[in-house]
Structure 1
Amino acid sequence: MTKILIVEDNDSIRDSILEILEAEGYEAIGTQEGKLGYELAIAEVPDLILCDVTMPQLDGYEVLALIRQNPIATTIPFIFLTAKSAKGDFRLAMELGADDYLTKPFTRAELLGAIDAQLQKKAATHAYYIKEIEIKEEQLDYLMHYDSLTGLPNRLSLQEKFDRIGGGQTLDGEESPMIPMLYVSLDRFNQTIEAWG
């Protein structure tokens, strides 16, 4: 279940957001303090954070700055919820690493739309990096099992294949027969390839 953290010191606003999110099937966690919000972000590692700007102890800007410095939470999508609508406030939020900025009052549709957009962006980024990891793993596997010069299976690749074949059994339950193998070593192979292609 997608987990969302709400850091908002106004009880009625926080409770309304919690109610909306729970009705939409999200797991919602709420707090009224910036310091506790930061601690919850590290402990719970939510999928998204909604945060007010003006709060006691730590304000929203300070919470965001701390989160972006912590490797556990640095990539969590972060949306500000605030009555501050000045251009300077918006720019500061973006420069600190906020992903979106909703000015109060906002509608249910605006809130859910902003959340959905950030969760889709996060999912797409995650899928991209998973694919990149798979590609790198395939490349590493190829480099480990094939000769870089000839593209032919190398000693490790052949050894693993022979181990699989030799470790098997025939249909009648007997052990597989010995596998004859010829190993050829070519002296100065690299020099020959470089000279003659």
Structure 2
Amino acid sequence: MHNKTLNRVIAMVLVIISVFAYAAMAMAEVECYITLKHANNKNAPVNVRSGPGKDCSIVCKLSAGTKVYYISGNGNSLDSWKKIRVPGYDDEDCYVQNKYLTNQKPSTESDTDQGNANNRYGSTNLKKGSKGSKVRILQGDLKALGHNIAVDGDFGEKTDKAVRSFQRTHGLTADGIVGPKTRLALYKAINNKK
């Protein structure tokens, strides 16, 4: 092979390698957090949608301080929407408005824990009569913590008693309502058990 041809082949290989390296860097995930700094309602969770736009279905709702991963590069330069990866929703396309993302870590670990607790159990209070997947997660965690209850997704009498028992043993108001303080205590208790 002639030197000119060999040099061209080497140059092409180097170009191809650099293109692939650049593409890999462009698709990096960047750790960031949900912020409500620019929200109208600082207590409401942020809607994560299946696509860029308010017409897309809601995948999940996240509280302030929840850690997510912004997927940078390659087709993710949407005006006010960013593609993110939400732990626990890895198989879903997730988008959030740019104003709800920050690269600043919450001021305390408790803020992050509260965001993760709200992500796990939902950001609305669970109580007697509640039903659904968040109740099922709650029941599974209570069961793992030693409470003898069914994991059926129906917040009935036994779940209410288990919640009140948990609240009493953790110095919380034993009202049977899984609000922010109970969610945080449950989240910490179940993580300490792992």
Superposition TM-score tier, normalisation by shorter sequence: under 0.3
More helix by share: 1
TM-score (norm 1): 0.22
TM-score (norm 2): 0.22
Larger relative contact order (Cα-Cα within 8 Å, sequence gap ≥ 6): 2
